[in-house]
Amino acid sequence: MAAQETVDHKYVYDFSEGNKELKDLLGGKGANLAEMTNLGLPVPPGFTITTEACQAYLATGQQPDGLAGQIEAHLESLERAMGKRLGDPQDPLLVSVRSGAKFSMPGMMETVLNVGLNDQSVVGLSAQAGGNDRFAWDSYRRLIQMFGKTVCEVPGEEFEHALDEAKSAKGTHNDLDLDADDLRGLVDAYKKIFSKHTGREFPQQPREQLDLAIRAVFESWNAERAVLYRRQERIPADLGTAVNVVTMVFGNLGPDSGTGVAFTRDPASGAQGIYGDYLANAQGEDVVAGIRNTVPLQELEQLDKTSYDQLLGIMARLEEHYKDLCDIEFTIERGKLWMLQTRVGKRTAAAAFVIAGQLVDEGLIDLDEALHRVNGAQLAQLMFPRFQLDHEFQPVAKGIGASPGAASGTVVFTSARAVEMAAEGKSVILVRRETNPDDLNGMIAAQGILTSRGGKTSHAAVVARGMGKTCVSGADEIEVNVPAKRFTVAGQTVNEGDVVSIDGTTGKVYLGEVPVMPSEVVQYFEGSLDPEHIDNALVRAVHRIMTHADGMRRLAVRTNADTGADAARARRFGAEGIGLCRTEHMFLGDRRELVERLILARAPGEREAALEALLPLQRADFEEIFREMDGLPVTVRLIDPPLHEFLPPLEQLAVNVAVAQERGEDVAKEEALLAAVRRMHEENPMLGLRGVRLGLVIPGLFAMQVRAIAEAAVACARGGGVARPEIMVPLVGAVQELETVRAEAEKIIAEVVGDSGVEVLIGTMIEVPRAALTAGQIAEAAEFFSFGTNDLTQMGWGFSRDDVEGAFFWRYLELGIFGISPFESIDRDGVGRLVRIAAEEGRAARPGLKLGVCGEHGGDPDSVHFFHEVGLDYVSCSPFRVPVARLEAGRAVVETGGSDSR
Ligand code: PEP
Ligand code: MG
């Protein structure tokens, strides 16, 4: 039975058998080649070996049973269709062997071209190409080079070096000046390099070449750079890559051939039009590597109008079919156009919004789909500041705005140095002539990337856009000298360690640090840009999509704010109330002294006096916030942290006292303070005397705060405003704690509020696991719950929130124990389960119980979706995250079809 299953398992799909939905199995490239084949577009025939075959190979180190036979059968049918045999000496079929995972991993894995060439078939290829010996030998040397490097790990520089020698022997810098004899000589040199490193001759059997290349592509899934890229992009490690075996077509057969890459819209700004690069008489890898300078795609119209028109027609068709921005790779072989790849193209955050808006206008997608196509991380990126430029700052160079943003930093020239300096906390700009996959570490570490070569489709541009990192590419006025660690531009020299600023939107490069200003999107949220009356495609698209998100979302969005200024800003950003006003911040600065008196109080009346002095100050704090949030709910949390946080650190105080004593000074006051600090010292303060425990232990403290809140609300109401205070008790673990605080608070509220019409709710944070597990009981004494997921994560996992992220999370991430810190994005299975239980049991006990979250997770996109699903009423987050949460709350509805567990 098992044997039967293995034999039947299908590992190889002809392009005519797949479609774009099969990305898991055929990888992105294979699925889209199949889709284009089925659309009747000119795709060179070929087949795809599935990701399952790769997974099986990586698990066992062996090709799975049946794979070899299936490859054979598909190769035979390819040979029949083409009327040629792989590597035939007279008229060889040649194939490329290309990786293609589910998620695009640009340049991370391997490709081998021209498989099927050997000492005989190179002659056949030349005849096939009309006696073009030069082309045939150039193709053969490329095979040995790629095969040697990729399949047999021969150091690539050795081939480069031999090529350079051949060129200098010829007195040229240009590959194209090497003639057939030179290239024949180069093939000999390459073969020697190959056998020196591998101890064997370059394989002459075409089928052996094919099998070894397929294995090498499988194995490249686990290459170091691919692993690093996956970790960075959060691509699961077990997907594996598919392998595409595609009939070779040649862009290097002469001036009527060439190769290019294109986007159906500008991937940086989203503007409509045709964006691409074309390189005549070249193969695809020449474009991506930026080895020769490309021309804009529009120039193809002059070179080959028929192919140009056909290409434009295909691009329009692809956009309509995919209903999205597509990027493509194509080759023209002697006037015949071939499509080598398409996919829904990566784009910048700005382009994502602009394109989604345009596609709605064009009737290709609806607003729900537009909302689905953007995300909170992109919106957050659009809220980053931009350079504030005045005449003082003149650009020294202008390249291509390859990935937007404004970045300033210290110049470094190598990936290793970028990593080192970033580890020292420096912001760095990685400057290279062009980047390649080995630069990935440095690109991750850098704030921005600047290259002197390459276009919008160069490695640097594609990878930076994927990471959301600022990049200027192709700034060709810059002369980069990596060994000397400097670049020169406009007669000036910039050394490693100097500071430059790069603008990834305009492509401009500045010397020194340029100051920054708020982004247009922030200005729009602030209300200072009117989307209806400005000519700014991005702001209009953001406005339209945000409006739709607001119309769709069920979750309200509040903010965490404890000053009037923050509250006002958050309200402009769309906050519908305050979900967490942390009152401890109001006890700092010049009020510290009062707090010290409160803590140190010994004599009768001392504590009361301190509280009495604090009361009007607190009342003023709350009045300001209620005024800013007029008409909206404001959750004020009673004081939470351990009180000793308001006192000087023990060690420092002890030293001061000892020194003063030594000098014979009067230290009575300091000694009292030291004694108090000693008395209050805790080994685990986060699990000690804090939150509700303080309220129960220090008489009058919570009462003072409750009175200040109620009085401020009444003052607001008397002034014609509407204050809607919600008093929140922190760190509750048992209903009895809450009941005790509540009883006292209710008395004060009744006394203060009188007939003012002010209504004050009393509720609790759910941030201790026991509270979540006894939520049914706690709900009896609470009108609302607000999940404090910071502490709930701390206590749920037993992770000190102040220490563990720096201490060992890197190892947990490496081991895959979690994919992201649970302090950043909610741990759905564990901490999330506590939230779910508390929500369900709380609501069961008190229907209408208001539920919100005010931990950091309230502004995290993925967590917002979770809180929608469990049926909370609102999320609360820092002011700058409010728009992100609004967007994601709308997206959560669109993505779940509106369902949640309420
Ligand atoms: C929490 O614990 O999630 C919370 C919001 O409170 P704090 O971060 O102030 O402890
Ligand atoms: Mg907390």
Ligand of minimum distance to the alpha carbon of 854: 1
Confidence band for 1, pLDDT divided at 50, 70 and 90: very low
Predicted confidence band at 292 (pLDDT cuts at 50, 70, 90)? low
pLDDT at 875 over 50: yes
Q: Which of 744, 789, 745 is nearest to 769 (CA)?
A: 789
What is the C-alpha separation between 522 and 713, in angstroms, rounded? 31
Q: Give me ligand 1 centre to Cα 385, in Å.
A: 28
Q: Is 54 a catalytic residue?
A: no
Beta bridge partner(s), residue 874: 556, 852
* 580 touches ligand 1 (CB under 6 Å): yes
Average pLDDT of the segment spanning 43-52: 97
Indicate left, alpha or beta for 114 from its phi (over 0: left) and psi (-120 to 50: alpha).
left
Give me ligand 1 centre to Cα 616, in Å. Answer: 26
**What tens digit of pLDDT does each residue of 632-686 get?**
999 999 999 888 788 888 888 899 889 988 888 888 888 888 888 888 888 888 8
Residue 86, SS3?
strand
Q: Does 198 contact ligand 1 (Cβ within 6 A)?
A: no
| Whole-number pLDDT of residue 498 | 96
Nearest CA to ligand 1 atom 9: 582
Helix-then-strand count for the chain, H and E: 37, 33
Instruction: Using pLDDT thresholds of 50, 70 and 90, give the confidence band for residue 283.
Output: confident
Residue to substitute in 639, 790, 878 for testing ligand 1 pocket (most ligand atoms within 8 angstroms of CB): 790
pLDDT tens digits along 688-737 = 999 999 999 999 999 999 999 999 999 999 999 999 999 999 999 999 99
* 417 has pLDDT over 90: yes
Cα 716 to ligand 1 centroid, rounded to whole Å: 28
Q: For residue 766, list its beta bridge partners.
A: 787
**What's the 823 CA to ligand 1 centre distance in angstroms?**
11
Helix, strand, coil percent values for the chain (each to nearest 5): 50, 15, 35
Q: Is 640 in the pocket of ligand 1 (CB under 6 A)?
A: yes
**Does the beta carbon of 788 lie inside 6 Å of ligand 1?**
yes
Mean pLDDT of 395-411: 90
**pLDDT value of residue 2:** 43
Higher pLDDT, 898 or 698: 698
Q: Is 630 exposed, middle or buried (0-12, 13-18, 19+ CB in 10 A)?
A: middle
Residue nearest to atom 4 of ligand 1 (CA): 788
Ligand having the closest approach to the CA of 787? 1
Whole-number Å distance, alpha carbon 752 to ligand 1 midpoint, is: 29
pLDDT band at 899 (very low <50, low <70, confident <90, very high): low
pLDDT band at 239 (very low <50, low <70, confident <90, very high): very high
pLDDT, tens digit (0-9, with 9 covering 90-100), for 764-813? 999 999 999 999 999 999 999 999 999 999 999 999 887 787 678 878 87
Which of 83-92, 206-215, 221-230, 479-488 has the lowest average pLDDT?
221-230
CA dihedral 728, 732, 736, 741 (to 10 degrees): -30
Ligand 1 pocket test: pick from 640, 686, 791, 800 the residue with the most ligand atoms within 8 Å of its Cβ. 791
Per the residue annotation, which of 854, 857, 865, 868 is the catalytic one? 854
Element (H, E) at 431: strand 428-432
pLDDT at 281 over 60: yes
Q: What whole-number percentage of the chain has pLDDT above 90?
A: 72
Q: Is the beta carbon of 582 within 6 A of some atom in ligand 1?
A: yes
C-alpha span between 786 and 770 (Å, rounded): 15
Taking 80 as the threshold, does the pLDDT of residue 833 lie above it? Answer: yes
Stretch 546-565: mean pLDDT, rounded? 95
- Residue 154 · residue 197 · CB < 8 Å: yes
- Tell me the per-residue pLDDT of 359-374, one tens digit each, with 9 for 90 and over: 999 999 999 999 999 9
Tell whether ligand 1 has an atom less than 6 A from the beta carbon of residue 728.
no
190's tokens: 């390459």
Looking at every residue in the chain, the average pLDDT score rounds to 92
Whether 595 lines ligand 1, by a CB cut-off of 6 Å, is no
Residue whose CA is closest, atom 10 of ligand 1? 791
Give me the mean pLDDT over the 163-191 stretch: 92
Where do we find the tokens 């999205």?
A: 324
One-letter amino acid at 478 equals I
pLDDT at 864: 98
Q: What angle (nearest 5°) sits at the alpha carbon of residue 291, between those of residues 288 and 296? A: 65
Question: How high is the pLDDT of residue 460?
Answer: 84
Does the annotation mark 459 as catalytic? yes
Tens digit of each residue's pLDDT (9 = 90 or more) over 113-156: 999 999 999 999 999 888 999 999 999 999 999 999 999 999 98
Q: Which residues on adjacent β-strands are paired with residue 95?
A: 115, 247
pLDDT class of 162 with cuts at 50, 70, 90: very high
What pLDDT, on a 0 to 100 scale, did the predictor assign at position 194? 97
Look at residue 5 and tell me whether its pLDDT is greater than 60. no
- Ramachandran category for residue 56: left, alpha or beta (phi over 0 → left; psi -120 to 50 → alpha): alpha
pLDDT in tens, 606-628: 999 999 999 999 999 999 999 99
Q: Check pLDDT > 60 for residue 6.
A: no
Dist. CA 686 → ligand 1 center (Å): 11
Name the closest-CA residue to atom 3, ligand 1: 788
Contact 487, 419 (CB under 8 A): no
For the CA of 789, the nearest ligand: 1
- Burial group, residue 371, by CB count within 10 angstroms (0-12, 13-18, 19+): buried
Local confidence band at 103 (pLDDT 50, 70, 90 cut-offs): confident
pLDDT score of 207? 95
Quick one: pLDDT band at residue 3, thresholds 50, 70, 90? Answer: very low
User: Is 871 within 8 Å of 851 (Cβ atoms)?
Assistant: yes
Between the CA of residue 291 and those of 96, 174, 384, what are the distances in Å? 20, 10, 34
3 state DSSP class of 398 = strand
Q: What are the Cα distances from residue 537, in Å, to 350, 357, 525, 843, 848?
A: 9, 9, 15, 44, 42
Indicate the top mutation candidate among 578, 639, 728, 767 to test ligand 1's pocket, ranked by most ligand atoms within 8 A of CB.
Answer: 767
Residue carrying the six token digits 């083409």: 82
160 token code pair: 């480069």
The pLDDT of residue 811 is: 84
Which residue has the CA at smallest separation from atom 6 of ligand 1? 788
The confidence score (pLDDT) of residue 66 equals: 93
Kindly state the percentage of the chain with pLDDT values over 70. Answer: 97
Task: Reply yes or no on whether the pLDDT at 459 is more than 80.
Answer: no
- pLDDT for 900 equals 64
* In the predicted structure, residue 106 carries a pLDDT above the cut 80: no
pLDDT score of 330: 96
- Between the CA of 731 and the centroid of ligand 2 the distance, in Å, is 7
Q: How far is the CA of 638 from the centre of ligand 1 (A)?
A: 12
Among 54, 74, 326, 459, the active-site one is 459
Give yes or no for residue 854 CB within 6 A of ligand 1.
yes
